[in-house]
Amino acid sequence: MDSTFDPTAWSGVMLGTTALFAGIGALRKPGAWRTMLEEVEKSPALQFLCGMLELVIGTVVYLANPWVPADLLSCVLKAMGGAMMLEALMILGFVDIYSQFWLRTLTHMHRGWALTTSLFGLVLAAISAARFT
């Protein structure tokens, strides 16, 4: 394997870019996240697909990033991967309870969540991309 490949940088850039553009999309189309959550809550097939997809992505992020206390970005990404796996299990087992929390939160704080997601994504992508130089 090429020794210049940095899985931490790549996973951070990809997760950050995804979060940035998901937030932008939510700002462009207010209510889109709420609609998606409502659709997932109503469909057992979507619940399973969303849970499994997040479980796979979370597992890949978790396994790709070693726990090296001197490398803060790697530790943050490993923790994010673990949190994604836990969230996926919540979706698979308790979507009715879990989705209600988010539906209530998105009703009052939609713009705040979208801005926070965009800002987090931008920071994560920028910090991760800096590792390429």
Neighbours of 45 (CB within 10 A): 8
Q: Which residue has the tokens 């939160």?
A: 105
Q: Given a cut of 60, is residue 1 above it in pLDDT? A: no
Q: Given a cut of 60, is residue 121 above it in pLDDT? A: yes
Please report the pLDDT score of residue 19 as a whole number: 97
Sign of CA dihedral 62, 67, 72, 76: positive
pLDDT tens sequence across 95-118: 888 888 888 877 777 888 899 999
Please report the pLDDT score of residue 24 as a whole number: 96
Longest dimension (CA), the chain: 48
pLDDT tens sequence across 46-62: 999 999 999 999 999 99
pLDDT tens sequence across 2-58: 568 899 999 999 999 999 999 999 999 988 888 888 898 899 999 999 999 999 999
Neighbours of 20 (CB within 10 A): 20
pTM: 0.87
Whether the Cβ atoms of residue 13 and residue 128 lie closer than 8 Å to each other:
yes
Q: Which residue has the tokens 């490993």?
A: 78
- Minimal CA–CA distance to 87: which of 57, 116, 108, 111? 57
Q: Given a cut of 80, is residue 86 above it in pLDDT? A: yes
Cα distance between residue 61 and residue 80, in whole Å: 8
Please report the pLDDT score of residue 3 as a whole number: 67
Please report the pLDDT score of residue 102 as a whole number: 81
